Chain A
Amino acid sequence: MKVLVPVKRVIDYNVKVRVKADGSGVDLANVKMSMNPFDEIAVEQAIRLKEAGKAEEIVAVSIGVKQNQETLRTALAMGADRAILIVAAEDVHNDIEPLAVAKLLKAVVDEEQPGLVLCGKQAIDNDMNATGQMLGALLGWSQATFASEVDIDGDSAVVTREVDGGLQTIKVTMPTVITVDLRLNEPRYASLPNIMKAKKKQLDEKTPADYGVDVTPRLTVQETAEPATRAAGVKVADVAELIAKLKDEAGVL
Chain B
Amino acid sequence: MAVLLIADVTNGQLSTDAVAKALTAVAGLGEVHVLVAGQGGDAAAAEAATLTGVAKVLFAGDHGFCHTLAEPVADLVVSLAGGYSHIAAPSTSDAKNVLPRVAALLDVMVISDVTAVIDAETFERPIYAGNAIQTVKSGDRVKVMTIRTAGFDAAAAGGSAPVEALDTAASGGLSTWVEDKSAKSDRPELTSAGIVVSGGRGVGSEADFELIKKLADKLGAAVGASRAAVDSGFAPNDWQVGQTGKVVAPELYIAIGISGAIQHLAGMKDSKVIVAINKDEEAPIFQVADYGLVADLFDAVPKLTDAL
Whether, in the assembled complex, A128 has its beta carbon less than 8 Å from a beta carbon of chain B, the answer is yes
Q: Does A33 contact B (CB under 8 A)?
A: no
Of the candidates A125, A221, A230, A238, which one forms a contact with B288 in the assembled complex, judged by CB atoms under 8 Å apart?
Answer: A230
Is A253 in contact with chain B by the CB < 8 A criterion? yes
Interface size on B, residues (CB 8 A): 89
| Residues in B whose Cβ lies below 8 Å from that of A253 | 219, 252, 308
List chain A residues, Cβ under 8 A from B307. 239-240, 243
Residues of A in contact with B, size category:
35 or more
In Å, the complex CA distance between A171 and B71 comes to 12
The reply on B249 being an interface residue by CB < 8 A is: no
Q: How far is the CB of A214 from chain B (nearest CB, A)?
A: 11
Report A162-173 CB contacts with B as 1/0, cut-off 8 Å: 111111111111
Is there a chain B Cβ closer than 8 Å to A213's Cβ?
no
Among A47-55, A76-84, A144-152, A192-200, the stretch that binds chain B is: A144-152
Contacts of A226 in B (CB 8 A): 132-133
With CB as the reference atom, state the residue of chain A lying closest to B240. Answer: A162
Pairwise interchain contact B96-A129, C-beta atoms closer than 8 A: yes
Contact across chains for B93 and A163 when beta carbons are under 8 A apart: yes
> Please, which residue of chain B has its CB at the minimum distance from the CB of A145?
B97
The answer to whether B182 touches A146, judged by C-beta atoms less than 8 angstroms apart, is no
B63 at the interface (CB under 8 A from A): no
Minimum distance in angstroms from B183 CB to a CB of chain A: 6
CA distance A226 to B132 in the complex (A): 5
**B-chain residues with CB within 8 Å of residue A240 when the two chains form the complex:** 307
A-B contact pairs, 25 of them (CB 8 A): A99-B110, A127-B129, A130-B110, A130-B112, A132-B100, A133-B99, A133-B101, A135-B104, A136-B71, A137-B101, A137-B103, A141-B174, A142-B71, A142-B174, A162-B238, A164-B246, A168-B67, A170-B177, A222-B137, A227-B269, A230-B274, A239-B300, A242-B304, A250-B290, A253-B219
Identify the 10 closest CB pairs spanning chains A and B, nearest first: A166-B182, A134-B104, A133-B100, A137-B104, A130-B100, A142-B174, A218-B109, A17-B131, A169-B178, A233-B290
Residue ranges of B at the interface with A (Cβ–Cβ < 8 Å): 10, 67, 69-71, 74, 92-94, 96-105, 107-113, 122, 126-140, 173-183, 191, 195, 219, 227, 230-231, 236-238, 243-244, 246, 251-252, 262-263, 269, 272-275, 281, 286, 288-295, 300, 303-304, 307-308
